[in-house]
Structure 1
Amino acid sequence: MKLHVTNETSRLRAVVLGTAESNGGTPDIADAYDPKSLEHIKAGTYPKEEDMKKEIEAVGKVFAKYGVEVYRPRVINDYNQIFTRDIGFVIDDKFIKANILPDREKEIDAISHVIDQIDKDKVIKLPEDAHVEGGDVMLHKDHIFIGTYYGEDYPDIITARTNLKAVEYITELFPNKKVKSFNLKKSSTEPRDNALHLDCCFQPVGKDKAIIYKGGFLIEEEYQWLVDFFGKENVFEITRDEMYDMNSNVFSISEDVVISEKNFKRLNSWLRENGITVEEVPYAEIAKQEGLLRCSTLPLIRDL
């Protein structure tokens, strides 16, 4: 398999889509990795497997409609395998294995049948002290945008998933790219104040547009850099509640087709006003785990 991904919006040809099969039920409070999951575990509203399976299969139908080749993880019994973006990502023609939370290492093994089709020289494993998850890595032509957390208390914050060591390593790995990092707001208790990954508060769409939540950035100048980069007229600013619902975590099949949650009324209207076809799917149950459409997809091949 010849990998190729240089941005978030070129025509998608092949992808790994997560699975909710044998999801493992509601976790214990002590096992919650993010504040939104914790909130729903405590409230008794954590999503049911049957509902999440329906939501993921709705995305699968959209991929089939557009002729996208879809790979699925091998199902591990009683294990959450929805968020494939966390476990790996493609930059150019290289597959980067993410260094993820130790409890989730089985997830990368479950896509070994995909990785085995890739030239071994193109599969990169980061050093142990370089932590990164795919939701923090955003490609845009000659730029790589990376969400991270600059604080010295990084090791103590479970919602901080990508460190500066990973930013440095990726910068060295891709010397022809311009790497720009962003210090993200983290909270282990309040999901409305937690940008778990960069794609929870920012994502490019279309040819030259972007969705942004200002409150997800700890440094206003870094947020402003993105607004200036895309141009204020091309930016859709989402609210704190829209960030909580994960409005920036949509997924592009091409520059003019986006898969979005059906309840994102304001965003979906803006996308359509800008000439983008919106394929609406139900995804509100999966969103209760602080992840949405980009989180549950791992693109392998996009057009040039």
Structure 2
Amino acid sequence: MSETKNLNTIFQFFQNDFFLIYMLKLNVKNETSRLRAVVLGTAKSNGPTPTVEEAYDPKSLEHILAGTYPIEADMIKEMEAVAKVFEKYGVEVYRPQIIENCNQIFARDIAFVIDDIFIKANILPNREEELEAIQYVIDKIDPKKVVRPPEEVHIEGGDVMLWNDHIFIGTYKGSDYKNYITARTNMEGVNFIKELFPNKIVKEFDLVKSKIEPRDNALHLDCCFQPVGKNKGIIYKSGFREESDYIYLVDLFGKENLFHISRDEMYYMNSNIFSISDDVVISEKNFTRLNTWLREQGFTVEEVPYAEISKQEGLLRCSTLPLIRD
């Protein structure tokens, strides 16, 4: 009997030790530290072109009406180009399990990591199955480190941006919030993050929203701002409803360190690139002016084709969910 008990104890010890090794030790404190593990969305079995009524955003709607909505084969090629860049830099990549006829490209919408906490987003109800498709990844995380906000909290990963002791959050403060499918994060979401991370400086930004004009719609914060490197950033001034929010970032980063993009560059998602480290970024190959500036600042720019995916008002940051950065 004693021998059996000892064997069970030894088995339990090795089982626990294996579990600790198997677990993902999350760590994301900013947007640019060296990336080690990431969830990259998938365009496989993306489904048919949505109807007008099914459009989530004005840019998708524009391309649905024009007959130029992207096709699955092109989007798969674009995402595989990103996967190859991650492979080049030794990044561990997780992909969602395939759901038939489901758009699973934008992994950033469904969850995000702050420090070592995995936060499930309260996304649009008909996108809940996208979260289920990465459950195998969530199962590798300590359950005590996985959080689901209460129902009244609306928040998506594209609106949450980390900058060391700061957390920047895009929101929409208009009284007509409920009328905008493009308003994805509410003030309840901002307050939830403030309560969860009391030692962080949490700053919300009131974003411009439009249901019909993609050039005047900052769907998420990363559609009009993103830090790069150690002290620089990409910004679109008119994406902020209040000039004071824009000035806050200018004061924090320094105007000389901010690359200002135009209305058209915002439309093509120039602020939605992705950092592998503080000196390596992945960018769309057609962002000529931005990529030139980045190289002038000393960045290595890994250019990929992503123009088809951008037709859905999302780009590289939207497609990625970082899990571990150094």
Map of 1:179 onto structure 2: 202
Q: Distance in 2 between matches of 1:221 and 1:94?
A: 30
Q: Distance in 2 between matches of 1:25 and 1:133?
A: 24
Map of 1:200 onto structure 2: 223
**In structure 2, which of residues 169, 184, 189 is the aligned counterpart of residue 146 of structure 1?**
169
Alignment of 1:243-258 (within 5 A): 243-258=266-281
Which structure's CA Rg is the greater one? 2
**In structure 2, which of residues 95, 102, 107 is the aligned counterpart of residue 84 of structure 1?**
107
**In structure 2, which of residues 177, 183, 186 is the aligned counterpart of residue 163 of structure 1?**
186
Deviation string 1:150-179 (CA, Å, 9 cap, x unpaired) is: 011111110000000010010000011000
Query: How far apart are residue 211 of structure 1 and its match?
Result: 0.2
Q: Distance in 1 between matches of 2:33 and 2:151?
A: 32
Map of 1:95 onto structure 2: 118
- Which residue identity lines up with residue 133 of structure 2 in the other structure? A
Q: Is the partner of 2:290 in helix, strand or coil? A: helix
Alignment of 1:212-251 (within 5 A): 212-251=235-274
Query: How far apart are residue 25 of structure 1 and its match?
Result: 1.9
Map of 2:316 onto structure 1: 293
Q: Is the partner of 2:38 in helix, strand or coil? A: strand
Deviation string 1:113-164 (CA, Å, 9 cap, x unpaired) is: 0000000000000010000000000000100000000011111110000000
Q: Point out the structure with the larger helix share.
A: 2
Q: Distance in 1 between matches of 2:189 and 2:40?
A: 25
Map of 1:74 onto structure 2: 97
Q: Is the partner of 1:96 in helix, strand or coil? A: strand
Q: Distance in 2 between matches of 1:166 and 1:207?
A: 27
Does residue 272 of the first structure (1) align with residue 295 of the second (2)? yes
**In structure 1, which of residues 12, 24, 28 is the aligned counterpart of residue 51 of structure 2?**
28
Does residue 132 of the first structure (1) align with residue 155 of the second (2)? yes
Identify unmatched segments of 5+ residues in structure 2. Answer: 1-23
Q: Please list every run of at least 4 consecutive aligned residues from structure 1 whose deviation after the TM superposition is greater than 2 angstroms.
A: none
- Which residue identity lines up with residue 176 of structure 2 in the other structure? D
**In structure 1, which of residues 73, 98, 116 is the aligned counterpart of residue 139 of structure 2?**
116
TM, length-normalised to structure 2: 0.93
Identity in percent: 74
Structure 1 vs Structure 2 CA RMSD:
0.3
Q: Is the partner of 2:211 in helix, strand or coil? A: coil
Does residue 4 of the first structure (1) align with residue 30 of the second (2)? no
Query: How far apart are residue 101 of structure 1 and its match?
Result: 0.3
Alignment length, in residue pairs?
Answer: 303
Query: How far apart are residue 228 of structure 1 and its match?
Result: 1.1
Q: Distance in 2 between matches of 1:250 and 1:19?
A: 17
Q: Distance in 1 between matches of 2:246 and 2:153?
A: 24
Deviation string 1:203-227 (CA, Å, 9 cap, x unpaired) is: 0001100000001000001111101
Q: Is the partner of 1:248 in helix, strand or coil? A: coil
- Which residue identity lines up with residue 141 of structure 2 in the other structure? I
Query: How far apart are residue 276 of structure 1 and its match?
Result: 0.3
Map of 1:49 onto structure 2: 72
Q: Distance in 2 between matches of 1:67 and 1:188?
A: 40
TM, length-normalised to structure 1: 0.99
